[in-house]
Amino acid sequence: MTGGAALGGVGPFGGTTISTLAARIRSRETSSLEITEVALAAAHKYGPMLNCFVTIDDHGATQAAAVADEELAAGLDRGPLHGIPVGIKDVIATNGLLTTMGSRHFSDHVPTADADVVTALRSAGAVILAKTQTHEFAYGPTSDRSASGPARNPHRLGLMTGGSSGGSAAAVAAGLLPLALGTDTGGSTRVPAALCGTLGLRPTGQSLSSRGVFPLSPTLDVVGPLAATAEDIAIAWRSLSPSGGLFPAAEGTEDPRGLPAAIHAGELRYALVTCALTERASADSADAVRIAAAALTRDRAPVPTVFLPEIDACADPYRVIQSAEAYALHHERVERAPELFGSEVLERLHEASRVAGWEYVLALADKERLRARVLVRLRTADVLLMPTVPVSAPAIDQRSFPPETLWNSPREALLSMTSAWSVLGFPALSVPVPGTGDGLPRSVQVIAKPDQEEQLFIVAAALEESFTAL
């Protein structure tokens, strides 16, 4: 974990993994209720400074924790998340619990059913402790535009968390929660994870249920977890994914259900992505990728590069698809009550309304064409490395860069390295990389082929191990 933070890891979960907590609950060293009460106290103490929570559910969380303890006492063990407090991004429906979408259109909205991903976490025994701040309607990568105000970066409170899952990233990075759900359309789990110094996963496109999740761009949206370790991300993903329980075998062991043994990080074939966009990454961002590559290969041959011009070519289809779908979702609200939108999101929606139908049709075709091309180029690579973001966290409300900067705006910069993988449908994970000149987190984006999330977890675990040994 990157150090020197104002509130980085200050909470009760800083430096503690879900499996450690799970073991301590099962040894009666602690209980879900005790953990939950500590978490609630920390959430009330630090949450307001970070503005990472929209709602803290003291009553629901303590009730759920008590039930979790009773179940364990009765011999019902739901697995590693049993009794563990988690946060849920405020675009994800929680039954009976305020869910605002970060918007004044939904300031009083209380869903009457859980989203499927919330049901999955509850079935795994998780305790829903809080709803986390989101950029208004998840429509922005900065999390400083929201009906509940800007989320603040635990490392420096005047800086952005990145977004749109800013509250989830801040809460995990501050150690207030071991796990929080986000959503990712163009980078909304990966970008705030990178800026706050946690892990953030975008699973394979369309691989998790979106029922009960307020959409931004349905063909690109996917729910994903943010957590502090590779193992915690893997636990979360396996609980969320319909296929997630298929590959839990430890490295080197035979899976009891006859599946092949899990592979080692050393058996994977890596490549560094190069394209016009990666040339524009800051020296610090590029360094982080090189450090990660060196950590993964050690004394073996250096990681080859793979030139992927398709990454650059994805920017336009991303804009077109996301704009057309977002305006389709919001057009009635824009016509009926434009005053309830923040001015920036409203302006972006007006711009989105101007995308033509034929452009959208072509963008969907481009998406398939680019995906096919990238799959062909990656015949000899399993896992790719590139920056998650090309800059460190900008200041809250910052909307431009100094003239010499290569990016027009923080929004453009923050999404530049992540949105292509959304278009292509590949899973990607932002992993922290230690050390930096300016005292802020840096990261590497690890990318696998569709449905190969387990490779991401293996690589992230290998990176953690290597960085801990430094």
Active site residue ranges = 89, 164, 188
> Please, which residue, 202 or 330, has the CB nearer to its own copies?
330
Contact residues toward its own copies (CB under 8 A) are 320, 323-328, 331, 352-362, 365
> Please, which residue, 156 or 319, has the CB nearer to its own copies?
319
> Please, which residue, 138 or 291, has the CB nearer to its own copies?
138
**Taking the chain, what is the end-to-end CA distance rounded to the nearest angstrom?**
12
CB of 332 to its own copies, least distance (A): 10
CB of 411 to its own copies, least distance (A): 20
Residues 193 and 388 sit within 8 Å (Cβ to Cβ) = yes
CB of 101 to its own copies, least distance (A): 19
> Please, which residue, 363 or 461, has the CB nearer to its own copies?
363
Please list, in sequence order, all residues whose beta carbon lies within 8 angstroms of the beta carbon of residue 414, skipping any fewer than 6 positions away.
Answer: 141, 142, 162, 187, 191, 195, 389, 391, 394
Q: Using alpha carbons, select from 111, 133, 113, 135 the residue that is nearest to residue 122.
A: 113
Query: Residue 173 and residue 2: Cα distance in Å, rounded?
Result: 10
CB of 369 to its own copies, least distance (A): 13
Q: How far is CA 37 from the centre of its chain?
A: 26
Phi, psi of 233 (to 5 degrees): -60, -40
Report DSSP letters for 65-114, one per residue.
HHHHHHHHHTT----TTTT-EEEEETTB-BTTB---TTSGGGTT---SS-
CB of 50 to its own copies, least distance (A): 35
What residues form DSSP beta bridges with 89? Answer: 132
CB of 337 to its own copies, least distance (A): 17
> Please, which residue, 257 or 331, has the CB nearer to its own copies?
331
Query: Residue 287 and residue 293: Cα distance in Å, rounded?
Result: 10
CB of 335 to its own copies, least distance (A): 12
Lookup: tokens for 466: 């290597």
CB of 211 to its own copies, least distance (A): 15
> Please, which residue, 358 or 376, has the CB nearer to its own copies?
358
Residues 311 and 420 sit within 8 Å (Cβ to Cβ) = yes
Residues 91 and 218 sit within 8 Å (Cβ to Cβ) = no
> Please, which residue, 268 or 364, has the CB nearer to its own copies?
364
Q: What angle do CA 317, 133, 25 make, to 5 degrees?
A: 115
Report DSSP letters for 109-171, one per residue.
---SS--HHHHHHHHTT-EEEEEEP-SGGG--SSS--STT----BTTBTTB---SSSHHHHHH
Query: Residue 177 and residue 231: Cα distance in Å, rounded?
Result: 15
CB of 206 to its own copies, least distance (A): 16
Please list, in sequence order, all residues whose beta carbon lies within 8 angstroms of the beta carbon of residue 228, skipping any fewer than 6 positions away.
Answer: 1, 13, 14, 15, 17, 172, 173, 175, 178, 198, 199
Q: Using alpha carbons, select from 144, 235, 267, 198 the residue that is nearest to residue 5.
A: 198
Phi, psi of 47 (to 5 degrees): -55, -50
> Please, which residue, 136 or 366, has the CB nearer to its own copies?
366
> Please, which residue, 186 or 200, has the CB nearer to its own copies?
186
Residues 427 and 452 sit within 8 Å (Cβ to Cβ) = yes
Q: Quick one: CA torsion of 17, 18, 21, 23, rounded to 10 degrees?
A: -110
